[in-house]
Structure formats: C-alpha cells, structure tokens
Structure 1
Amino acid sequence: MVVGEISQERKLIIIGGGPGGYSAAIRAAQLGLSVTLIEQADMGGVCLNEGCIPSKVYTHVAAKRSEAAHLQELGIGSSDNLLDFQKLSAYKAKVIHQLRSGVESLCKVNKIELIRGKATFLAVDKIGVEKGHQFDIFEFEQVIIATGSSPILPTKMKENGKRTLFPHELFKLEEIPKHLIVRGQDYIALEAASSFAALGAKVSIVIDDKGFPFDESINKELLRVFKKRKINVHKEMEFVSTNETDDEISITFLTDKNEEETIHGSHLFVSGTRKPNLDSLGISRFQIEQTVEGFIKIDGNMQSSIPSIYAIGDVTEGPMLAVKAIKQGKAAVSSIVGEKTEVDLTFMPVVAHTIPPVASVGLTEQSAREIGLSIRVSQFALGGNGYATITGKKDGFIKVISDSTTEIIQGIHMIGEGAVEMSGSFVQLLEMAAKEEDIKFPHYAHPGFNEGLLEVVEGLIGQAIHAKPYKNS
C-alpha cells in the first residue's frame, strides 16, 4: 500500500453510489456544490444491480406470463406458454447495464467527481480511499454516509449453503427452481413467491404468526389469490431447523397447531434481516451516536451527532427502502446549503409487485380502531370495474378508511392491477389531508382502474354505482 503524503481538500464527499447516494450527489450539484462520490463497487448499489431492478424484471415477466390464458381468449398466442430463461437473464442484464450507464452519465454531465475505492474514516473530517495499491487521503467539510445494508440470516438459521438464497442470489439462478420454499412475509418474500409460481416453479411460503403485513382485508385476499395460484401457505409459530443435502433442502418448524412440520424443496429463499454497512468505515472510534441495532442516529436534517457527518438510507433507522434513501439524500444536501427541509415517513407507501400487486398507505382498519378513531369503511371490488373486466384483471379491490367525524381520509389500500401506479395518488391525498369530497368532486378517465377510487369513496355512504348495496361499518 502506498500512502499519499498530501491530503486533498473536498467540499462534500458522499460515500456510496446507490439510489440515495447518487441522488444526493446530483441534487448537490444542482444546488451549486462541488461533489465527490466514492463507490467501491457498481454504481446504483444493491437496488439497481442486485435488488429492486432485477427482482422487478422477474415480477414483470411473471405478470406477463400470467396473462397467457387471457391473451389466448383474445386470440393472441398459443397454449405453449414457454419461457426461455436464458433470454430472460439476458434481458435482465441489459436493463441493469442501461440503467447503470444512465446513472454514470448523469454523474458525468453534472460534473460529479467519481472515485472508485473503499473509504475509511481517518478523522471526523478526513477519509482515506483505498484502491489496489493506491491510498488517497481527503479532507472534507461535510460527508454523507450512504453505504446501504447487507442481508443476514434470521436467528437460529445456519450459514447458508448453495441451496439457501438471499434476494440478490435468487435472481442470479440459471434455471427455475423445481420447488422454491420462501420463508418470510415482507414484500420481497411475497414478490418472490408470486413471481416464481407464475414462472413455473412449485412454491411454498412459510410465514410467521403475524401473517401478511397489510390491512386484514388485503391479507385475506392475498391468501385467497395465493391458494388460487397453487402457492402453499404455511404458518410457522417456531423455527426448528434446516437441513441441506446435495439434492435438496428442508425446513422444519412448529405450526399453529403445535405440530412439527417439514417441507422439502430444491431451494430455500430467505429475505432475512439486514444490517447497516458501517463496520469497515471505522466510525465507531469517533463515538458517533448509534442505536442498539447499530444504525446511525440522525436529526431532522440527516445530521449525525458529529456535525460534519450526515447519514441516509439503510444506515439509519426506519424502512430499508430506496424511496427513503432518495428522499433523505435530497434533504441532506438541501440542509447543507441552508435550506429548510423535512423528511416525513408517515405516509410512505408499502407496495408489493405480486400478482396482482398491492399498495397500502396510511392507517389500516385495525390500527384506526385501536387508536379509537370513529371510522367508516368502504371496499370496492374490481370485478365491478369495466376496464378490469376488459383486461381480465378482476381480482382485488380498493379499500378506504375515513374519519366519520371529519370525513378526512385515513387510509387507502388496494390489491389489484394498477395498485402501484395509483399509490402515488393515495399518498398525495393523505398528505393533503383530503376529505371524501376532495375525491368525489374531480373527473375520472373512463374506462380505467382509477374509477375504482371514486366508487370506493362513494361507497362510504352507500352510493357506489357499480356495487351491490351493503351495510356500512
């Protein structure tokens, strides 16, 4: 290792080129700051290269494959419905390359200095960057840590072998698993179960006693859809063990009937828990404030207990989602240039690209009742929507929870085609504290899934046109 004798000065350094890091870098450049971005692997981070993007390629093709029967009904395609897995893998690689190149190009046109290497803190205002035999030292005014997180196996599980897969490993398989066992019920696990079942794998999903993470009505519908698609759902009350051989892997657990059950499969997928990527940075010796779990504590400006150090994304508490990292990254640089900023995670949408997709924003019916709100609830089945009938996407519904006293919308939940795209409107409505009339007054394109939102709110007072009369809650 050759250590540079002279340290170089920088205004703002961002460590990590994932969605939070590169968004922060571009926003900083737009605000007139000189920016240095350090990334030791591929630009775009886990999200672009191993997580969000490759997984959504699979959920996309799975959704298309699930349309085969409807397309045949329309006179399109044949009954073969074959999947060329090599072409799918090539398409995934092309998408990742295109998006990664786009990020690199955006950094270049915004005149962001991109340094490849591994960063380590030498002081609260100084880092070293190692690349091979080269070691450069940089002094900075501010630094933003955006190094993300890594998966770890849940408690009691053994170190994973070749048949135990984390998310980034699942989407690198060279063939469809014969029998995929999915352990977990977060959005990643649900997407894996849904998509691989549609791609032709036998799928069993093992969930804990808490069940699916959405509104209870959504959970029941998702369970119905999974059973309809022949996805076996098992409830685990207590994990016992896993056993892996050259030919298969098995998982043993106690069921809700206190009986031991063992499932045998070709692969076991575990979405797992994640830990922040901080150990190699060496920040602990500066006594920076961290949580018991190891996350960096930050204030409303994304600033840590050390004024020169900011942190965003998975290294901070809260949902480990790219949308959070992006929002925090923009807020951090706005704070650095003196602008007032705020990151409020109250109405962050929870989505799953299952078949059909799920989107959930705001209070569930159960949580609203638990905090003592007087509510009225409406649910509109997509089977009553004209466009859903045209497209053959009639599974699912939209559900709205409203405060019966103020008529302010408290939660919107949807399972069905268009849920992810419509979630942006759901968030906006809750952010603006929309009332029922704010949803009923505008015009809605016809025919379209969006009409379901109008009908579900009209249904709060029993006036939905395309729904049978029902007694309100």
Structure 2
Amino acid sequence: MVVGEISQQRNLIIIGGGPGGYSAAIRGAQLGLSVTLIEQAEMGGVCLNKGCIPSKIFTHAAAKKADTAHLNELGIEFDDNTFNYRKLLDYKDKAINGLRAGVESLCKNNKIELIRGKATFLGTDKIGVENGHQFDIFKFDQAIIATGSTPILPPTINEKGKRILLSHEIFELEKKPEHLVVLGQDYIALEVASSFAALGAKVSILLEDKSSFAFDESIHKEMLRLFKRSKLNVYKEAQLLSSNETESEISITFKNDKNVEETIQGSHLFIAGLRKPNVDSLGIGRIGLAQTNEGFIHVDAYMRTSIPSIFAIGDVTEGPLLAIKAIKQGKAAVEAIAGHKPEVDITFMPVVAHTIPPAVSVGLTEQNALDFGLKVRVSQYPLGGNGYASITAKKDGFIKVISDPATEIISGIHMMGEGAIEMSGSFVQLLEMAAKEEDVKFPLYAHPGLGEGLLEAVEGLIGQAIHAPPAKKKDLSII
C-alpha cells in the first residue's frame, strides 16, 4: 500500500454516492460549495443498482403482464402470452446502466470531484481513502456520511445458503424461481410477492405480526383479498422458526396464526428482513461519534452529528430506511453547511408499495387516530365506481379519507389502486397544508379521471359522493 505523505485539503467531503449522497453533492455544488464525493462501488448506491430501481423494473414488468387480458379485450391481441425472464434481466441491466451514467454525468457537469475507494475517519477532520494499493489522506472542513445500510438475516437463521435471498439479491436471480417463499410485510416483501406471482412464479407469503403492517388496515384487507385472488398462498401472523436448505429446495418451518407449527417447501426463500447501517468500517468509534445501540448515528434537526464538522443522512440515521428520506436529509445537510436553516419533517412521508395495484398511506391511519383518542370521520370510495377505472379495467382498490369532524381538517389519505403512486404527492401536499374537506371539494377535476376518486371520497364524508351507493345514516356517524 502506498500512503500519501501529505494530506490534501477539501471543503466538503461526502462519503457514499447513493440517492442521498449524490443529491447532497449536487445541491452543495448549486450552493457554491466545493464538493468531493467518495464512493467505493457503483454510483447510485444499492438503491439504483440492486434495490429500488431493479424492484420497480420488476413491478413494472409484472403490471404490464397483468394487463395482457385487458389488452386482448381492446383488440390488441397476443398470439403467445409467454414471458422471457432473460429479456427482463437484460432490460434491467440496460436501465440501470443508463440511470447510473446519468448520475455520473450530473456530478461531472456540476464539477463534483469523484474519488473511488473505501473511506475511513482518521480524526474529526481527516479521512483516509484506500483504493487498491493507494492510500490518500484528506483534511476536510465538513463531511457527510451517506453510506446506507445492508440487509441482515433474522436471528432464527444461522447460516445463509444460495437459496436464501436478501433484498439486494432477489433481482439478480438468473432464472425465475419455481416456488418463491416471501417472509415479511414491508413494501419490499409485498412488491416481491406481487410481482413474481404476476410473472408466473408460484409464491407463498408469510405475513408477520399485523401490528407492524405500515399501511392502513383497509389496505391490509384489500391486499389479502387480491393476493388470494392471484392464487398466492398467504400465511398470516407467521413466526419464522428455522430453515433447512438442500441442493434442490429449502424447507421453512414457522408458527401460524393458530400457534401451530407448519413446514413448507420452496425453491427459494426471500427475506425482506432487518437492516444494519454501513458504519462499521468508517472508524467513527475511534473519533467518538454518538450512535444508538443498533449502530445508527444520532443527528440533530440539521443532520449534524455529535461532532459539529460531521453530518449524517439516510439509512445510517434513525427512522425509516427509505431513499426519499435520504434525499431530503442530504439536501438539508448541505443547506445547513451553506448557512441556511432547512427543515426536515417526515411526519407526512408517504408509505408506498408498487404492488398490483399499488398502495399508498399518508398521514394517520384510522387505527392511529383511534389509538390517540381522536374522533374521526371516515369515507372509503371504491374505484369500481370511477368511470376511468372502468374504462381501463383498473377497478380494484379504493381511496380512503380520514378527517377531524370538528375542524374538517384531513388527517389521513390511503389508496390502493391504479394511480396511487402518482397521486401520493398530492395527498402529502394536502396534509402538509392542513387542508380542509372544502379544499378538496372546491377545485375542478378532469373527467373522466382517477383523480375524481379523491373528490368522491371526500364528498362521501358527508354523504355527497355521486358515484357511490347512498350511505346508511350510521355510516356517516363520527367514530
């Protein structure tokens, strides 16, 4: 190893080129900061290369395949409705390469210095970067840790074989699994189960404790109904006990919702699982950076750590492990470094799953509100009553709105159905502005359009929905 004799001075160093890291780097450049980005693997991080983007390519393909029956109804006929898994993998690689090249180009155009290698803190203002036999030392004014997280096995599994797949491995399979067993009920598990089933694999899903389900209970019920209709084997309240892998299959033993032990065989087991922050190799322990017992880094409202010159964003910090959080925190961190006073509030961060159809929860669920002792008014509008949903054969799902009967302020919006992902931004905006029911009812909506479903859901709060059966009087009562 060749060690640089003289440390090189840098203004802002960002460790990690994932969504949070490269967004922070670009925002820093926009604010006039001199930015150095250190990445030891591929630009875009796990999200672009092995996580968020590959998963959405698979869910996109699955949704298109699920559309073929309706396309035949429209006269767009398919003589042979086959699925070529190899072509999907090729498309995935092409899309990822294109997006990665785009990120690299953006960094270059913003004059961001990119250094390849593994970074380690040597002090509170000094970083060493190892790349092969080369080792360079950099002194910095400010640094941002954006190294993400890694999935880990649950404690009930001691050994990982080739048939156990974590979130960064499932989309690397060279062949479609014959029988995929999915453990978990976070958005990744739900997307994997939904997409692989639509692509023709046999799928069994072991749903864990319902109390940890991130969506509203109404979405949980609808998802179960649609899973069963799609012939997924659903096991509720499943508690994984062990797994036993052979050359040809894997056996999974668990306790079911009746506390009875069951064993099923599959070709692969996918575990959404736990995640740990990627901080072990950073050397932050030796410089006294404050962490939780789980290893996450403590940060303040400006993403500053216990060491004033060092910031942290994304999965290495406490809270939801989502790219949208990392991106928001990354921008806020560099804005704080540049002397601004940014604000990060994830109260209304949407929970999203690209299932078939997709699901979104924003704000309070009905159960949340009841647990807080709040009185609520609830309306759930089925998309089967929406004209455009009927035209496009996307009638599964609903839009559910929760409001405060005293103030008429909307406190939660939940949707499962076509268009949920795109409409989620509007849901967030409504809650952020403390919108009242009238704020939704007053504007004009394109007709026919899925957006009318939101209007009808809000009108349904007081029995005014046009394309829904008249509500019984007790249905309009306040909970």
TM-score by length of structure 2 reads 0.98
Match of 1:74 in 2: 74
Q: Deviations over 1:274-296 (max 9, x none)?
A: 00000100011111111111100
Q: Deviations over 1:52-75 (max 9, x none)?
A: 001100000000000111111111
More displaced, 285-294 or 265-274?
285-294
Question: Would you say 1:335 and 2:339 are equivalent positions?
Answer: no
Query: What amino acid sits opposite 1:200 in the alignment?
Result: G
Q: Secondary structure of the residue that 1:208 maps to in structure 2? A: coil
Match of 2:216 in 1: 215
More displaced, 228-237 or 275-284?
228-237
Question: Would you say 1:472 and 2:476 are equivalent positions?
Answer: yes
Question: Residue 235 of structure 1: CA displacement?
Answer: 2.2
* Pairing of 1:207-246 with structure 2 (within 5 A): 207-210=207-210, 212-246=213-247
Contact in 1 for aligned 2:214/2:351 (Cα 8 Å) = no
Match of 2:289 in 1: 288
Query: What amino acid sits opposite 1:199 in the alignment?
Result: L
Question: Residue 159 of structure 1: CA displacement?
Answer: 2.1
Stretches of structure 2 that go unaligned for 5 or more consecutive residues are none
Between the aligned partners of 1:329 and 1:209, the Cα distance in structure 2 is 33
Match of 2:153 in 1: 153
Contact in 2 for aligned 1:240/1:253 (Cα 8 Å) = yes
Contact in 1 for aligned 2:206/2:238 (Cα 8 Å) = no
Q: Deviations over 1:80-116 (max 9, x none)?
A: 3111111111110110000000000000000000000
Between the aligned partners of 1:237 and 1:180, the Cα distance in structure 2 is 16
Between the aligned partners of 1:239 and 1:279, the Cα distance in structure 2 is 28
Match of 1:55 in 2: 55
Contact in 2 for aligned 1:55/1:171 (Cα 8 Å) = yes
Query: What amino acid sits opposite 1:472 in the alignment?
Result: L
Between the aligned partners of 2:94 and 2:114, the Cα distance in structure 1 is 23
Between the aligned partners of 1:55 and 1:239, the Cα distance in structure 2 is 24
Match of 2:43 in 1: 43
Question: Residue 435 of structure 1: CA displacement?
Answer: 0.2
Match of 2:105 in 1: 105
* Pairing of 1:298-317 with structure 2 (within 5 A): 298-317=299-318
Match of 2:431 in 1: 430
CA shift in 2, pair 1:462/1:202, >3 Å: same
Q: Secondary structure of the residue that 1:137 maps to in structure 2? A: strand
TM-score by length of structure 1 reads 0.99
Match of 1:257 in 2: 258
Contact in 2 for aligned 1:193/1:203 (Cα 8 Å) = yes
More displaced, 69-78 or 410-419?
69-78
Q: Secondary structure of the residue that 1:379 maps to in structure 2? A: strand
Between the aligned partners of 1:353 and 1:130, the Cα distance in structure 2 is 38
Q: Secondary structure of the residue that 2:445 maps to in structure 1? A: coil
Question: Would you say 1:198 and 2:198 are equivalent positions?
Answer: yes
CA RMSD of aligned residues (A): 0.9
Between the aligned partners of 2:234 and 2:56, the Cα distance in structure 1 is 22
Q: Deviations over 1:25-82 (max 9, x none)?
A: 0000000000000000000000000000011000000000001111111111225311
Between the aligned partners of 1:113 and 1:213, the Cα distance in structure 2 is 39
Query: What amino acid sits opposite 2:139 in the alignment?
Result: E
Contact in 2 for aligned 1:213/1:219 (Cα 8 Å) = no
Contact in 2 for aligned 1:236/1:253 (Cα 8 Å) = no
How many residues of Structure 1 are paired with residues of Structure 2 in the alignment?
Answer: 473
Query: What amino acid sits opposite 2:295 in the alignment?
Result: G
Between the aligned partners of 2:237 and 2:228, the Cα distance in structure 1 is 17
Question: Residue 224 of structure 1: CA displacement?
Answer: 0.3
Query: What amino acid sits opposite 1:337 in the alignment?
Result: A
Question: Would you say 1:346 and 2:347 are equivalent positions?
Answer: yes
Match of 2:323 in 1: 322
Q: Deviations over 1:114-167 (max 9, x none)?
A: 000010111000001011111110000000000000010012112211100011
Question: Would you say 1:277 and 2:278 are equivalent positions?
Answer: yes
Match of 1:116 in 2: 116
Between the aligned partners of 2:58 and 2:240, the Cα distance in structure 1 is 29
Match of 1:381 in 2: 382
Contact in 1 for aligned 2:210/2:237 (Cα 8 Å) = no
Question: Residue 236 of structure 1: CA displacement?
Answer: 4.0
Between the aligned partners of 1:86 and 1:251, the Cα distance in structure 2 is 28
Between the aligned partners of 1:37 and 1:427, the Cα distance in structure 2 is 31
Between the aligned partners of 2:75 and 2:244, the Cα distance in structure 1 is 47
Q: Secondary structure of the residue that 2:142 maps to in structure 1? A: strand
Between the aligned partners of 1:421 and 1:133, the Cα distance in structure 2 is 47
Percent identity among equivalent residues?
73
Match of 1:21 in 2: 21
Between the aligned partners of 1:127 and 1:77, the Cα distance in structure 2 is 60
Between the aligned partners of 1:383 and 1:312, the Cα distance in structure 2 is 42
Contact in 2 for aligned 1:207/1:235 (Cα 8 Å) = yes
Between the aligned partners of 2:197 and 2:81, the Cα distance in structure 1 is 14
Contact in 1 for aligned 2:25/2:37 (Cα 8 Å) = yes
Between the aligned partners of 2:236 and 2:376, the Cα distance in structure 1 is 31
Query: What amino acid sits opposite 1:73 in the alignment?
Result: E
Question: Residue 237 of structure 1: CA displacement?
Answer: 4.5
Query: What amino acid sits opposite 2:203 in the alignment?
Result: V
More displaced, 327-336 or 156-165?
156-165
Query: What amino acid sits opposite 1:321 in the alignment?
Result: L
Q: Secondary structure of the residue that 2:327 maps to in structure 1? A: helix
Q: Secondary structure of the residue that 2:459 maps to in structure 1? A: helix
Between the aligned partners of 2:374 and 2:237, the Cα distance in structure 1 is 32
Q: Secondary structure of the residue that 2:228 maps to in structure 1? A: helix
Between the aligned partners of 2:128 and 2:82, the Cα distance in structure 1 is 52
CA shift in 2, pair 1:204/1:237, >3 Å: closer
More displaced, 41-50 or 74-83?
74-83
Between the aligned partners of 2:419 and 2:234, the Cα distance in structure 1 is 25
Contact in 2 for aligned 1:158/1:242 (Cα 8 Å) = no
Between the aligned partners of 2:159 and 2:319, the Cα distance in structure 1 is 26
Match of 1:94 in 2: 94
